[in-house]
Amino acid sequence: MNFKELSIQCRTYRRFSQKPVDPAILQELMENVRIVSSAMNGQVLRYVLVKDPALVKKLQPAIHWAAALPKELGTPKEGEQPTAFILVCKEGRGNPWDDIDAGIAVRNIALNACAYGIGSAILGAVEWNRVKDILSVPESWNPRLLMALGYPSCESHIVDVPENGSIKYFLDENKNYCVPKRALKDICLVK
């Protein structure tokens, strides 16, 4: 698949089949994120790969999913939940660009996963202290983002922004995600 196809297919997913992600793929994701660009080569990001089914299940109540959707539609139910997580942390004080590094890292993971047909969701509405306790995260590691991973059990489509201008994502009649994106002419000046 070419990069444009990968970018179109790499959407946020919130419902997953319960097929576990191959451990070799998870290892590849971690190896590839290890070598991504880092501001000033500071390498302050740390990761916790969560693939143990009991721990994955234990994390579910600490996550607040899909603020634009009603909870009963946006939160994955039992049998739809992700099968793995990657917790992205910053160690210590870091530098002013650490959140940019975190963004680069999670996009790398999402694209790499998508190339294998694995869906992801980058999550920030998380009860971090609870997650740190569940995973016994070192005190100096400060959680920034949580990535949910699994094989999607739904579809996610890019759609045009409707006439009312709303960019809120929504579910169609088949409960597939529709994500309005602005036209290029509306977001880019060419000089």
pLDDT by residue (tens digit) across 42-78?
899 999 999 999 999 999 999 999 877 877 788 999 9
3-class DSSP assignment, residue 112: helix
Spatial separation of the C-alpha atoms in residues 159 and 170, rounded to whole Å: 10
Phi, psi of 149 (to 5 degrees): -135, 145
Q: In whole angstroms, how far apart are CA 161 and each of 3, 24, 140, 183?
A: 23, 39, 43, 8
Task: Say what the pLDDT of residue 158 is.
Answer: 95
32-46, 91-105, 108-122: least confidently modelled range: 91-105
Give the residue from 23, 69, 64, 71 showing the smallest Cα distance to 146.
Answer: 64
Q: The pTM is what?
A: 0.93
Q: Find the DSSP H helices in 21-172.
A: 23-34, 53-59, 71-74, 98-114, 128-135
3-class DSSP assignment, residue 141: strand
Spatial separation of the C-alpha atoms in residues 12 and 148, rounded to whole Å: 9
pLDDT by residue (tens digit) across 83-105?
999 999 999 877 888 999 999 99
Label residue 112 left, alpha or beta by phi (over 0 means left) and psi (-120 to 50 means alpha).
alpha
Mean of the per-residue pLDDT values for the chain?
Answer: 94
